[in-house]
Structure formats: structure tokens, C-alpha cells
Structure 1
Amino acid sequence: MLGFIVIIICPCYFYCSIYRQRKSNNDLTTMTDIELGIPHEVRCEYTQLNTIYSPMLHYNPDECAITKIARKQIIFGKIIGSGVFGMVYQGNVKNLESSGTEISVAIKTLRKDASSHEKKKLLKEAELMNRFRHKHILRLLGVCLDGIYPFLVLELMETGDLSRYLRDCRNLEASDSHALRLQDLFAMCEDVARGCCYLEELRFVHRDLACRNCLVSSRNRENRIVKIGDFGLARNIYHDYYRMRGEDLLPVRWMAPESLMIRIFTSQSDVWSFGVLMWEITSLGEQPYVDKTNAEVIIYVLAGDRLPMPLNCPSALYQLMLRCWTAADARPNFEFFLKNIITLRKNIEDALLSPVDIL
């Protein structure tokens, strides 16, 4: 009976909520956000319309032409990730920065049986990535168009994705120099928030913020930087995504209620996902709603229930997460969260983390 009531009431609530939000922002918030290309396309009237606003970025193709890399410059190494798109390899590129040099890179490739549509999606991904110039956004170095399928050449993040990194850190003793402390968790949240602020300023909607889509540069905290990617590196897509009513796979455990109900994706829905991402960080990589199936998660979220406070999460940080999980028109923007994370990081003393069960 409860599930029936939720299904009847929620659409009306979210339509009204989004209408109020659009009206109060002169229709700019939801209709001017531009989607960041992701491996799955979600059918949604609003997100399709978003693409017409791309000139607002003042993007000049002549100033930001994508670097072309010849196949003979690329040396493939070991596989470091995979997904429905294909494989990601560690490798090297010769003579990219200057003659006689060789740098380590990540190389994203398509499956051998990839369709022409998937090829176009990969090139669109390259076009979008090439617009970003920020310390906390994964950088595209160039594309290789030699052969049947294109390759994307990306900066190499040695430590891999943030989700796996957090889980690996559960195995470390407190005496280990690489063991995480409370201030490390704050630093990771701050890094991602900075990247999100940048995307929000450009009016890009990510749609898939999660630890698995963030990459870590180093285990050494002095050199560690977290960057937003979402380009298929080491993604366990069948574990974290869910196909609803015959649609493409969706990351329901990170999705806002309005995204679950009527496929609305905005900066506000990104804020919801960011709250789940902070929860992942402070739980050291636990899967959100781990004791529930994907279908049960949808019912749980639409009923108004929320993730509990993780063991190593300060109460003040959990209150920020709860702000992420309010109604769409009540969620603050990313600048608000960045400022508050910085303040908490300054005012809360560092501490050892309580041990978390090894997955």
C-alpha cells in the first residue's frame, strides 16, 4: 500500500518542485545545463533540449582543437580497466610534448565489434573532455584516428579509481604511512567539490557522480589529487547499474528522486549524487544501500528514506549530506558545499579512522 501511495504522490510532488525551481531561476537552472557524455544515454525530454545551449560556453573550436596522435606514437601496456565500451590500457606516447620525449598515459579503446554509434559517442566524449581545463577534471591529451576505431589518450592516474582505492585502504594498519585519516576524507570531498563547481559554472550536468568515476593520482597524501572522470575506467557497470523498464543501465543508487521518477537531470540532481559520493568516501568505499536490491533502493529513496551516517563520518559532514538529499528546489549549489567542506576541514581536528570490515 505504501509503495502505491509513493508512486501516485511522487510524480506530482517532483513536477511541482521542479516547476517552482525553474520559475524562481527564470527557467535557467534546468534548461541551460549541458550534459556530460556518459556511456549510457537516458531518454529524457529535458536533457535532449539541453544540448541547444552549448554556445553559452563560448567555446571556440579553433582555440581548443583536439590533438591528433598517430598510432605509431602509441605503445600499449597492461589493461587497467574495462567496461561495456571496451578496454583501458596503460601505455606510453612518444613525442607528444616535444621531440624525443615519452610519457605515461591511459588509452581508452572500443570493442572490436563496436557499432558506428558507439564510435560517434566516443568522439563526442573526446570533444566534451577537450573543453575542460581544471586541476580536478581528468584531462584528455589527444585522440588517435588511425585505423577503424578511434582511441582516446588520457592522463594517467597511477592509483586508479577512488572506490577501489578506498576499499584497498581498509587493509592498512594505522601505522602505515598511507593509511587514511579523517583529514584525508575531507581532502577527497573537497577535491571532488572543486571539480563539481567547475562543471556547474560551465553548466555541465555530469549525471554519474560516484567514487568509481573519480581517479586518484597517488597514495602519497602530499601528492594525492582526486579528479572527476566518468569515462569508463575500471567500471563494474553490471554491479552498480540497473536497467529499468527496458531502458539503458542506470546508476540508481546515486540518482536523485526526480531522476528516478521522470528522468530529470540537472545540477541539483548532481548535488544529490555528490552527497552519495561523500557517503562512499566516509564509509571507505561501501556500496550505498548495500543490504538492498536495486529495485528496493528505488522504493526506499522515493519513500523519503536516506542513507545512515557512516562510522567515520563527523556529524557536521553528515548534515551536509542530508542537505544534498533534500527536495530538488531546496538543494544548495556546489559552491555552498565547497565552502562548508573547507570550513569543516579547518575546524575539525585530524584523527585516526575506526577500522572498517574488509569487503
Structure 2
Amino acid sequence: MYVDPSNYDKPEDAIVEFTAEIDASLLYLEMLIGKGEFGEVYKGSMTGALGKKHPVAVKTLKKDTTPKSERDFLLEASVMGQFDCPNVLKLKGVVTKYRPWMIVMEFMSNGSLDNFLKANDGRLSHLELISMAKGVGVGMKYLAEMNFVHRDLAARNVLIDGNLVCKVSDFGLSRELEEKESSRGEYATTGGKIPIRWTAPEATKYRKFSSASDVWSFGIFLWEIMSFAERPYWDWDNFKVMEEIDNGFRLPAPLNCPKGVHDLMMKCWKTERVERPSFTEINKILDGWIEKPTMEGDIDLSYALRSWLESIKMAEYTEYFVAAGYQRPRELHSIKEGDLKEWGITLVGHRNKIMKGIKNLQAKKNG
């Protein structure tokens, strides 16, 4: 279970408990890539035990900071240090023996998901988009099972790597579920900022946060994915957003969004939090779309095939495979080069590339 590091008398004690101190001489800061709440964020490298350099992201604490910022910086690292999930951003360690203090994390080459979606508007298949959502669903299920509430799930707080794997990040607003409240799973707070457009009504009004309010946020996050990071509720101000939600308004389906995906969003936006699905249920639904995307209004089967062909730079031949009756990569194991030639794929180099890709698929399956 997650342990709230703010319960420690001194944040330094939590740092010792939940993180590893890194020798600053092993780090090299290469390029400024952003600014965080406490300071600057760099792409860098860290020298490992065998002398190999690994890419990392490094948050630094600015020099003229306040004692509160120092404490929050240490608490954020102590929160991250407790997580170990492929879809939650991983902490490598901290530097607290020297200035500037640093939080060292795995490097995600494609940056924040909202910027990635905007840059690739219309270029990603439904299957790719749903797979991104599934990664975040896995991360959120893990956090919920640890009795941890994120409170600020949004595309801007999800990072994406070169393989399009998404990881939940940014735990600055996050809080844990109190044991005594676990039956209702809520967290009440009297302070802190609330991201209105992503936040459930009970959290906005009464500051009661729970895994169910994170589910509401996941619905908004899913809407962001399917709209390629449009702004939820467009140019409405926060007061109008709250008023319209109270009156029963819910975001309509984004352009070309499958009906089933919008239906899941609507389930996440139930007024009564007990009626919202859990992250376990959400992941089962997403798995179903990825494994058997056959429901009317959901995801066309050929997206999986097209996505694989895109990965080997052979997307131009998608219709050849579909016409031959193939719809998923795992169905391709019996294909021979002669079949490709018979379908009209005349270039030898392209046939060889496709056959190599099929062999790699089979090797992964057997591995």
C-alpha cells in the first residue's frame, strides 16, 4: 500500500525510505526540455554500473526556492519512489547531497501526450489511440490498487515514449486514500488547485477525491485522446463548465470517434460515483476492443493490420491483405512469398520486407 510521505516528521526521512541517492558525477545534463513547478527539466544521461550511458529526464530545484518548495520537491520524489509499474513513470533516484537537488526519471522521447496528439492529428489509427488509453488504464488500475488517488489525470500529465507506450506522471497534486475512508474511497482536502475541466463534480464541489473521481478524469482523458487533444469544453469558462455539468451536459463524441468509445466516456461521467466503472472494468473493455474489435461502432478489424504494416513501412499494401481475407497480424503466419506475388505485390524488396516482418511476428509469439 502507498504510504503518504507527508506523514513523516521530516521529508528527508521519506526520501531515505523510498528513493535511492544518485552520485551527481554520474549525471550529465544535455538539453533543457521544459520547466516544472519547482525548476527546470532537462534531458540528460546517467552512467550505469558497466559504464554505459542511459538517457534520463532530470528535474532540478531552482536556487532561490522556498522551504515549502523544497519540501514539496522531496515529497514528490518520495511519492514516485513507491511505484513500480510499466505504465507509471519510473523514478531512477534523487540527488540531495549537492545543489541543485535533482529528481532523476526515465526519459520519454515523445514528451507529453497532449503535444504528441496535436502534432499527429489524424495520423493515428483508432487501434493506436485505444492502445494508448489502455496503457494509462493499466497505470491507473495499479495506482488505485495501491489506494492512491492521482487527482490530475489529463493528457498533459501522461508521457509517451518512442514505442508509443504511455505512462502516468506528474504527482504534484496527488494524494492517497485514507484507510478509514477506504469503503467509500474518498479524500477530502481544504486546499490546492483543482483542474475543473478534468475533475468530477463531487471533487469540484466538496473536494472529495477517490478512484471514482480519477475514473471521471479518465473519461475526459479518453475524450482528449480521441479528439487529438482538443480542449475539453472548448472556450467555456470554468463556471460555465460546472453549471452545464450540474445540468446534465456531457461532452459529445469527437469527430470519427467510435460509438462504443464514447459510451465508455459516458459511463465514466455518471453523476453518482458508485455507478462509474472501476479501472479493472475499464481495462477489460479496452482489452476487448484491442483483441476482438468487432462490435458495430467500435473499431474496424483492419486497424490492427494497418497499424502493423505501418510499423514496417508497408501500409500501402493494407488493402491487399484485407482483400485476401486477413485482418489481424496474428493471422499472417501461414502466408508465403508466392501469396504476396499472387496478390500483386510485384516488388521483390517489398515482399522480402513483409516476409521478414511476418517471421519477426512469429518469433515474438513463440518467445
- Residue 228, structure 1, aligned to residue 228, structure 2: no
TM-score, normalised with respect to structure 1? 0.71
| 1:163 alignment partner, one of 114, 119, 127 | 114
Deviation at 1:303, TM superposition (A): 2.2
Residue 71 of structure 1: aligned partner: 24
- CA deviations over 1:256-287 (Å, ceiling 9, x no partner): 00011010110000000000000000000111
Deviation at 1:224, TM superposition (A): 2.1
Matched positions, count: 275
- CA deviations over 1:210-244 (Å, ceiling 9, x no partner): 000001101xxxx3211101157xxxxxxxxxxxx
- Residue 249, structure 1, aligned to residue 196, structure 2: no
Q: Which moved more, 1:303-312 or 1:258-267?
A: 303-312
CA contact 2:194–2:204 (8 Å) conserved in 1: no
Residue 237 of structure 2: aligned partner: 293
Measured in 2, the distance between the counterparts of 1:215 and 1:131 equals 18
More helix by share: 2
Deviation at 1:109, TM superposition (A): 1.3
Residue identity matched to 1:167: K
Measured in 2, the distance between the counterparts of 1:269 and 1:115 equals 31
Deviation at 1:294, TM superposition (A): 2.1
Residue 209 of structure 1: aligned partner: 153
Deviation at 1:323, TM superposition (A): 0.5
1:259-278 mapped onto 2 (5 Å cutoff): 259-278=203-222
Measured in 1, the distance between the counterparts of 2:155 and 2:60 equals 22
Deviation at 1:147, TM superposition (A): 2.7
- CA deviations over 1:77-109 (Å, ceiling 9, x no partner): 211121332211001112xx3142211100011
Aligned residues: percent identity?
36
1:1-359 mapped onto 2 (5 Å cutoff): 65-94=18-47, 97-170=48-121, 179-218=123-162, 223-231=163-171, 248-326=192-270, 327-345=272-290, 346-347=292-293, 348-349=299-300, 350-351=302-303
- Match of 2:56, SS state, is strand
Measured in 2, the distance between the counterparts of 1:344 and 1:93 equals 39
- Match of 2:233, SS state, is coil
Deviation at 1:113, TM superposition (A): 2.1
CA contact 1:68–1:145 (8 Å) conserved in 2: yes
Residue identity matched to 1:84: E
- Unaligned 5+ runs, structure 1: 1-32, 38-47, 53-60, 173-178, 233-245, 354-359
Distance 1:35 1:329, change over 3 A: farther
CA contact 2:15–2:75 (8 Å) conserved in 1: no
- Unaligned 5+ runs, structure 2: 9-13, 173-189, 294-298, 308-367
Deviation at 1:209, TM superposition (A): 0.5
- Match of 2:208, SS state, is coil
RMSD, aligned α-carbons? 2.7
CA contact 1:36–1:207 (8 Å) conserved in 2: no
Deviation at 1:248, TM superposition (A): 4.1
